Amino acid sequence: MPKPKTIMVFGTFDIIHKGHLNLFEQAKSIAGPEARLVVVVSKDLNAKQAKGTFPINPESSRVLALKKVPIVNDAILGDSTDKFRAIEKVKPDMIGIGYDQKIPEGFEAWLKHSRMEIEIRRLNAYKPEQYKSSRLSGKLI
């Protein structure tokens, strides 16, 4: 029997909503029924750089909240200086990229240099007009 795959997803996950839950379900689905889902949470400063504002909830609270989501096997904090460090630590089989996320500059070169074989999958949007964090006003699920 093949070893279950590990899939990673990345994001700020400031307000956990149905769009995030759908992202997690999609990730698990494409990686297989026994897959391990690891969620990498952006550091506060990294989130501010990317979005222009600090998250409502501090990074430690966001990690703890995600660890309580039943479909999530592990939630870890990203690195403030090395955006690929979490990947090096976990060594996932797959990475799920959200519909609105960009692949970081230098990722393909880093991946080639690392010699890791990681399948990259773009995940679909789930009602982005309704469940985009920037459109929500503090509603938690």
Express each pLDDT in 18-72 by its tens digit: 999 999 999 999 999 899 999 999 998 888 888 888 889 999 999 999 999 999 9
The answer as to whether 80 is a domain residue is yes
Residue 141 lies in a domain: no
Cα torsion angle, 126, 42, 103, 135, sign: positive
Q: What is the CATH number of the domain that holds 85?
A: 3.40.50.620
CA distances from residue 90 to 14, 135, 140 in whole angstroms, order as listed: 22, 32, 28
Bridging pattern class, strands 74-77 and 36-41 = parallel
Q: What is the pTM of this model?
A: 0.87
Please tell me the total count of domains within the chain.
1
**Residue at 1 is within a domain:** no
Range of the domain at 104: 6-135
pLDDT score at 140: 41
